[in-house]
Amino acid sequence: YMLWADGRHDVIEFAFPGDIVGLGHLSEHVSTAQAMVDTVVSLVSDAEFAENYQNDDPLSFRLSAAIEREFDFVRDQALVARTPLKSTVRVANFLLALSRVNSFEGRERELIADDITAGFVAEKLYMSIECLGEALLRLKKEGAVRETSRGLRIVDTATLQRLADAA
């Protein structure tokens, strides 16, 4: 569930035996979980998750929903913060999340295909295309990404992660 500053909470989903929980990209979860009955939680390796992801359509939908919640959370935090979250931070987080989805879907992790339009990304991150362009230019100058004929390539994940964590 999502826990709001005023104490309200909104139920996002229910998990059942065998479900994988704790989905997302950010280092800290934006939602909370609560067990309603005695529960055993086990860690799932990246390899096991990738295998489950390939064979479990509902899991892929849940991962997409979790990542979208994180985008919404980061975007909303940027809108209410005293100092707006830098567009570079938002774009870096977006690219890292897309690379994770690529990995689970069996695509090349570092390649963000050119079928994702700048307008779509700018709209998702609540920024103008000009701000998106400036953020991508900074990521390029920092050596985190480069343009290719197939799309944007993440060339230095550590640098991209450092920029994403600059919030």
CB 94 within 8 A of CB 135: no
Please tell me the pTM assigned to this model: 0.57
Burial class (CB in 10 A: 0-12, 13-18, 19+), 127: buried
pLDDT in the model for residue 156 = 94
With DSSP H G I counted as helix, E B as strand and the rest as coil, what are the percentages for the chain, rounded to 5? 50, 10, 45
Backbone angles phi, psi at 64, to 5 degrees: -60, -45
Distance CA 145, CA 154 (A): 4
**Is residue 60's pLDDT more than 70?**
yes
Residue reference for tokens 């989805």: 101
Strand partners, 152: 112, 147
- Rounded to whole angstroms, what are the CA distances from 110 to 57, 59, 95, 98, 160? 23, 22, 9, 9, 11
Angle between helix 87-104 and helix 157-164 axes, rounded to 10 deg: 130
In tens, the pLDDT along 140-165 reads 999 999 999 888 999 999 999 888 88
The residue count of the chain comes to: 167
Q: Is 46 in contact with 63 (CB distance < 8 Å)? A: no
Q: 7-52: per-residue pLDDT in tens?
A: 777 887 888 888 888 887 777 777 778 888 888 888 888 888 888 8
Amino acid at 17: P
Average pLDDT of the chain? Answer: 82
**CB-CB contact of 91 with 125 (8 Å):** yes
Helix (H, G, I), strand (E, B) or coil at 54: helix
